[in-house]
Amino acid sequence: MKVVAFNGSPHKEGNTWHALKMVTAELETAGIETEIVTVGDKPIRDCIACGMCARNKDERCVLPGDPVNDWIQLMKQADGILLGSPVYFAAMSGAMKSFLDRAFYVAGMNGSLFRHKVGAAVVAVRRSGGIPAFEQLNNFLLYSEMLLPTSNYWNVIHGRMSGEVEQDAEGVQIMRVLGKNMAWLLKLVEHGRGAVPAPEREQKVMMHFIR
């Protein structure tokens, strides 16, 4: 089994990376392969709502010049997906938002590529705004019918300078418990595959309220 983690921080080994490493360390202890991909240090174009991924059905975004399509395939092949972001004005980073908008729209328009994968989100913040950013990340997981492991508190860890999150004893425990629960859920899904049939995927009903 494999979990791919995405670091939405422009700092390759900043506090978001440290938080992700705390989770992936528990996954690796449980025998699960992990990979951390840095998103935040790359110029990621935002979704332009062209709808071409829905028309082409090729699991690709038509916008060129960045690694989003490579990352979509990494996510498709993984058993679990871990999303991490710093907090900018009580929200996730712009690069992370642009990446997730495109990746999850492509996935949704191509047969729900991430459906029933195990997914979790973590946030690193200096002081405030962690919960709104955490909720933003969770919106993508919930929309995609993913399976979410929990911890013993919301998945937010505090620190300013790189590595300071290691001093947040409660935050460290949150990440550790999340990693253990994520590994457990991944193994439950793996052992249940074939023994417990998954519910049939329903065709999405789309409507609006303008008459």
At residue 18, does pLDDT exceed 90? Answer: yes
| Integer CA distances (angstroms), 37 to 12, 56, 67, 96, 120, in order | 9, 27, 11, 11, 15
Average of per-residue pLDDT across 141-150: 98
Q: Does domain 2-192 have CATH number 3.40.50.360?
A: yes
Question: What's the CA gap between 187 and 118, in Å, rounded?
Answer: 10
First to last CA, the chain: 48
Name the amino acid, one letter, at 210.
Answer: I
pLDDT of residue 210: 87
This prediction's pTM: 0.96
pLDDT in tens, 45-91: 999 999 999 999 999 999 999 999 999 999 999 999 999 999 999 99
At residue 42, does pLDDT exceed 90? Answer: yes
Question: What's the CA gap between 115 and 98, in Å, rounded?
Answer: 20
pLDDT in tens, 172-184: 999 999 999 999 9
pLDDT confidence tier of residue 189, bands split at 50, 70 and 90:
very high
At residue 15, does pLDDT exceed 90? Answer: yes
Q: Are the C-beta atoms of 107 and 65 separated by less than 8 Å?
A: no
pLDDT confidence tier of residue 211, bands split at 50, 70 and 90:
confident
Helix (H) or strand (E) holding 36: strand 33-38
**Residue extents of the structural domains in the chain:** 2-192
| Integer CA distances (angstroms), 48 to 45, 102, 103, in order | 9, 9, 13
